[in-house]
């Protein structure tokens, strides 16, 4: 898959923001012409219009469709008030798949994501239904988005024990302003052999550098609260360093933020959104950036997340467990409570 995946959430202006059909098609064409092959959407994006735009432009044309990896999602309810209209039950996800195939005008979905964990449906039911879709040839691969690490692990272990289709990837929010997946989900992905596809690597535009302390009070972003809720002192400290790094290497803050995410362990392909061809070109420029160790460290430190227990304890326990030893290239500090020599041990 391409290192950058084209996110199609903004295809169609049905939500009051996004791109019209013609601009969306131009973005698609430019992305493919530049060598991109991975497109991500969902059944509920712009009320189904996103999938239809992709279907009209790519799905109905076999020569175009065969060149791309099309990913879409189930879970979102397209029929308010209908308990079977969304979620991850066999009935709802099977119906959602059929509807997505119709809108995408294709016989198969390359990668089918569960958009969010459904706490009302047993994970075994979801995995068995997805396995049936793969066996029927309607889906090639499956993945989870926005699901706790425990449920991801349960699903993967269950599938492998029962000979069902396993997960291949996780789609997770990940950026310099959202790093808490480094606690459970990224380690789980590494253990289970899952690739990571980050979404919102620019935090809805907050990490483009156009929102600062100086203009925050008067800013009226098109996505409203999706951005303004990030107007915090902690976020602006990250933006300050981001802008400084961008100046030092003569590029844009958005490119630096994208390059940082794409360089993280386990990340396979980062989802970028683009309402215009110009935005797409700016984002693709991040592939040309190689952050220096000094710049990466500055970004790491200013954005370091506060993780749930026991991760800070584990991070600080290297000396406790490996006092003074070097393991996998990491040298642990000497534990001051350890015996200085064999004679001090009981």
Q: Could you give the residue numbers annotated as active site?
A: 45
Q: What is the DSSP letter of 175?
A: B
Bridge partners (DSSP) listed for residue 171:
145, 197
Name 118's Cβ contacts closer than 8 Å, sequence gap at least 6: 75, 87, 88, 89, 126
Nearest one of 234, 226, 251 to 177, comparing CA atoms: 234
Name 33's Cβ contacts closer than 8 Å, sequence gap at least 6: none
Q: Are the C-beta atoms of residues 307 and 180 closer than 8 Å to each other?
A: yes
Q: Are the C-beta atoms of residues 305 and 179 closer than 8 Å to each other?
A: yes
Structure tokens at 95: 């119906």
The length of the chain, given as a count of residues: 346
Handedness of CA 95, 100, 105, 107 (dihedral sign): negative
User: Rounded to whole angstroms, how far apart are CA atoms 186 and 166?
Assistant: 17
User: Rounded to whole angstroms, how far apart are CA atoms 67 and 73?
Assistant: 20
Q: What is the DSSP letter of 58?
A: I
Q: At what angle do helices 277-284 and 253-262 cross, to 10 degrees?
A: 60
Name 285's Cβ contacts closer than 8 Å, sequence gap at least 6: 251, 252, 255
First to last CA, the chain: 57
Q: How many CB atoms lie within 10 A of CB 8?
A: 29
């Amino acid at each position: 898959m391409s290192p950058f995946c084209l996110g199609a959430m903004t295809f169609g202006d049905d939500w009051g923001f996004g791109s019209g059909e013609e601009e969306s098609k131009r973005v698609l064409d430019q992305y493919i012409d530049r060598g991109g092959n991975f497109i991500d959407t969902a059944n509920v994006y712009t009320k189904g219009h996103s999938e239809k735009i992709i279907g009209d432009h790519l799905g109905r044309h076999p020569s175009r469709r065969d060149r791309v990896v099309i990913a879409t999602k189930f879970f979102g309810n397209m029929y308010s008030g209908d308990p079977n209209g969304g979620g991850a039950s066999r009935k709802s996800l099977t119906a959602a798949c059929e509807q997505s195939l119709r809108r995408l005008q294709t016989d198969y979905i390359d990668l089918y994501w569960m958009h969010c964990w459904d706490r009302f449906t047993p994970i075994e039911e979801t995995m068995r239904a997805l396995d049936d879709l793969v066996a029927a040839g309607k889906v090639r691969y499956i993945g989870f988005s926005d699901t706790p690490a425990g449920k991801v692990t349960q699903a993967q272990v269950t599938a492998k024990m029962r000979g069902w289709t396993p997960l291949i990837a996780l789609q997770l929010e990940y950026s310099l302003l959202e790093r808490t997946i480094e606690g459970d989900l990224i380690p789980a992905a590494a253990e289970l052999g899952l690739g990571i596809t980050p979404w919102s690597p620019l935090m809805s535009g907050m990490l483009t550098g156009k929102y600062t302390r100086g203009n925050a009070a008067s800013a009226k972003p098109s996505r409203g609260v999706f951005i303004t809720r990030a107007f915090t002192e902690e976020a602006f400290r990250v933006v300050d360093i981001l802008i400084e790094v961008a100046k030092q290497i003569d590029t844009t803050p958005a490119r630096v933020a994208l390059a940082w995410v794409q360089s993280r362990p386990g990340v396979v392909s980062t989802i970028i959104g683009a309402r215009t061809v110009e935005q797409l070109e700016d984002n693709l420029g991040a592939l040309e950036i190689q952050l220096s160790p000094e710049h990466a460290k500055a970004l790491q430190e200013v954005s370091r997340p506060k993780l749930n227990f026991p991760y800070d304890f584990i991070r600080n326990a290297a000396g406790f467990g490996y006092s003074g030893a070097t393991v996998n290239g990491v040298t642990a500090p000497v534990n001051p409570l350890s015996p200085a020599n064999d004679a001090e041990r009981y």
